[in-house]
Amino acid sequence: MFESKINPLWQSFILAVQEEVKPALGCTEPISLALAAAAAAAELNGTV
């Protein structure tokens, strides 16, 4: 599945993603919005 030229660390990362990432079921939009808002707030100076 992997080419021998790929860095072993990158191979480990790909395997971890393939094993851990699963299709989302249910209502994921509120969580996506909360994560995006938190990431944006972390980039702002001062309080929000």
Q: List phi, psi (to 5°) of 2.
A: -100, 145
What residues have CB less than 8 Å from 14, skipping those under 6 apart? 2, 6
Supply the pTM of this predicted model.
Answer: 0.40
User: Are the CB atoms for 2 and 14 separated by under 8 Å?
Assistant: yes
User: Are the CB atoms for 11 and 2 separated by under 8 Å?
Assistant: yes
pLDDT score at 8: 86
Tens of pLDDT, residues 1-48: 555 577 888 899 899 989 988 877 787 788 888 889 999 988 888 776
